[in-house]
Amino acid sequence: MSAPLRLIVLARDQSRHVQDAWRDIKAFLDAEPGADVLAAAVTEDLDLNGLDPDIAVVLGGDGAILRACRQFDRKQIPLLGVNLGRLGFLADLSPEEFCEQFPRLQERRYDVVEHLMFDCTVRFKDGRTESHLGLNEVLLSSTTLCMMDIDLHVDRELVTTYSGDGLILATPVGSTAHSLSAGGPILRQDLPAFVVTPICPHTLTNRPLVDSADCEFRLTLPRAPAGVTGVIDGQIRFPLAEGDEVIVRRAKETFKLVKIPGHSYYAMLHRKLGWGGQPRYRRG
């Protein structure tokens, strides 16, 4: 018999369906001898000092997983998502599937897949700097809907200047989020690369760019209207102005996602995004 699985449970979303699911899962775990719940956070931030969990179970959608990832910061813990959101690309199991699959989890018959994260450093023209750890993407956009210019430097080489509504620099995990909506490609989640996707570029030639995750990406604003904003993972926001620059590099830390064998990436694309369908050809 394997040792009890040491768990942290995060269920901070106060919506009724998340809290109802948490009560059901809590009752299940309380009665399960193979579970050792070290801590649970329903409303307050969780103090991780002194805790050594095997996995953290996150109840909610992909946004809840992004918040958990940001909270764990430089001490990333393997996360298992229980999907209670609209799509749940990272949160793959339903509450019922979590209970059904728990014996496999308790016996450690799961994989921990590591995904690329990034360090984003913002250097303001007045000399201030701030840094953030991210998982999905960095977005630069204008809230006033005025066209802006963004210079892209890769390893200190000026690659191009994008003129349009903004720019998205995404990881493979983030390639199926905002970048996909803006016309960017789907990257396999374990690919060591970034994708640069312009938003409504004012040109006939600019297309998304995929480059190595070992490169340094520097975004500068040679001309910017008022209201330009930088956004990391849809949750961290900072104002930007002409002369500011955003530098993105691969982080030393990786995002650790718990996967149950049999849940393949391409099957998830089919199931979640309806990807890969063919036209309804006439037969005969």
Query: Are 54 and 129 in a shared domain?
Result: no
Specify if 282 maps to a domain: no
CB 65 within 8 A of CB 16: no
Q: CA-CA distance, 261 to 109, in Å (whole number)?
A: 8
Specify if 226 maps to a domain: yes
DSSP 8-state assignment for residue 93: B
**pTM (two decimals):** 0.89
pLDDT in tens, 240-276: 999 999 999 999 999 999 988 876 777 777 776 777 6
What is the number of residues in the chain? Answer: 284
Which residues are catalytically annotated?
A: 62
Specify if 280 maps to a domain: no
Q: CA-CA distance, 284 to 278, in Å (whole number)?
A: 17
Specify if 284 maps to a domain: no
pLDDT in tens, 198-246: 999 998 888 999 999 999 999 999 988 888 999 999 999 999 999 999 9
Specify if 281 maps to a domain: no
Structure tokens at 279: 């036209």
100: left (phi over 0), alpha (psi -120 to 50) or beta: alpha
**Domain extent at residue 240:** 117-252
Query: Are 92 and 161 in a shared domain?
Result: no
Crossing angle between the packed helical segments 95-106 and 16-30, to the nearest 10 degrees: 30
Look at residue 186 in the predicted model and tell me its pLDDT: 93
Look at residue 15 in the predicted model and tell me its pLDDT: 85
CATH at 205: 2.60.200.30
Look at residue 127 in the predicted model and tell me its pLDDT: 93
